[in-house]
């Protein structure tokens, strides 16, 4: 595919803003809705922000690292950018859809590209019942929290919580506990992307829990349902020599 109309977006850091000015001057600039491709300048956090911002736009997104963390970003180079874009490899992502009910019986709906996480709000550990496809799989998890991660998000919070790294295109989700106390030896589970995950908060008055879908937080939840939403597609572009699947493999062999 030929990419000629480029939209450049950048994080607020000095390095990202300086690169933004140079690239817009050199290659021109279009609004996201008019562009063939969106080029983001920053780190993984800004890439996540851009993905959420541009869900309705539909243009593929190509990141160049001008931040501190760049797992989802390509190496920053200004020369021959259009030719470089034409050689990229595309990866399609599908976000998680979180539906949460709070203790006022209010329903909240949000998308998560990385993960949906449940976190304790107080000094008390959370108690959470887990259902998979309407079947109770864990009657009571006592923990600091629990999360469901996509392959793209498996190297973010999920990895910090000692969850597995998932290859892109694996059609797998990671269900990972955060500092589990009981069952002490439970390390989580791998789920098919079709799985419907439901969390029920136990003793919620004594042990309040919040639910977070990337940037959207819902406090004092009673129940949280999570599933992959295949009606929403996001396309990331990677240089052939720095594709996401290779990075995921490499990460698993890091010391």
Beta bridge partners of 129: 200
Q: What is the pLDDT of residues 192-240, one digit of tens each?
A: 999 999 999 999 999 999 999 998 999 999 999 999 999 999 999 989 8
Decide if 6-93+233-251 and 96-228 have a common fold.
no
Condensed to tens digits (0 to 9), the pLDDT of residues 150-167 reads 988 888 899 999 999 888
What number is the average pLDDT over the span 38-47? 94
User: Residue 255: pLDDT band by 50, 70, 90 thresholds?
Assistant: low
Q: Which helix (H) or strand (E) is 48 found in, with range?
A: helix 44-53
Q: Domains of the chain: which residue ranges?
A: 6-93+233-251, 96-228
Rg (CA), the chain: 20
pTM score of the predicted model: 0.87
Question: How far is residue 10's CA from residue 16's CA, in Å, rounded to a whole number?
Answer: 6
- Specify the fold of 96-228: Tumour Suppressor Smad4 (2.60.200)
Which SS3 state, helix, strand or coil, does residue 51 take? helix
Lowest mean pLDDT among 59-63, 102-106, 241-245: 241-245
Q: Which active-site residues does the annotation give? A: 44
CA–CA distances in Å: residue 221 to residues 5, 9, 57, 86: 44, 35, 31, 45
245, two tokens: 């699947």
Instruction: Please say whether the beta carbons of 175 and 146 come within 8 A.
Output: yes
How many CA within 13 A on the CB side of residue 75? Answer: 9
Task: State in words which class domain 6-93+233-251 has.
Answer: alpha beta
């Amino acid at each position: 595919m030929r990419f000629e109309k480029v939209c450049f977006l950048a994080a607020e850091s000095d390095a990202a803003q300086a690169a933004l000015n140079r690239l817009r001057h050199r290659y021109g600039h279009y609004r996201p809705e008019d562009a063939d491709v969106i080029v983001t300048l920053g780190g993984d956090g800004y890439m996540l922000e851009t993905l959420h911002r541009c869900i309705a736009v539909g243009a593929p997104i190509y990141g160049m690292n001008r931040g501190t963390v760049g797992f989802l970003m390509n190496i920053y180079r200004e020369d021959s950018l259009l030719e470089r874009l034409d050689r990229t490899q595309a990866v399609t992502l599908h976000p998680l859809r979180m539906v949460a009910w709070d203790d006022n019986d209010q329903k909240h709906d949000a998308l998560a590209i990385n993960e949906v996480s449940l976190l304790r709000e107080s000094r008390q550990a959370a108690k959470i019942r887990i259902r998979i496809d309407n079947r109770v799989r864990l009657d009571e998890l006592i923990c600091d929290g629990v999360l469901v991660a996509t392959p793209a998000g498996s190297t973010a919070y999920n990895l910090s919580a000692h969850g597995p790294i998932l290859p892109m295109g694996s059609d797998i989700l990671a269900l990972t506990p955060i500092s589990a106390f009981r069952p002490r030896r439970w390390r989580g589970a791998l789920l098919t992307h079709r799985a419907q995950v439901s969390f029920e908060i136990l003793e919620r008055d004594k042990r309040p829990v919040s639910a977070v879908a990337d940037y959207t937080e819902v406090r004092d939840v009673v129940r949280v349902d999570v599933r992959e939403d295949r009606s929403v597609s996001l396309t990331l572009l990677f240089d052939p020599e720095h594709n996401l699947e290779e990075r995921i493999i490499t990460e698993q062999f890091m010391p």
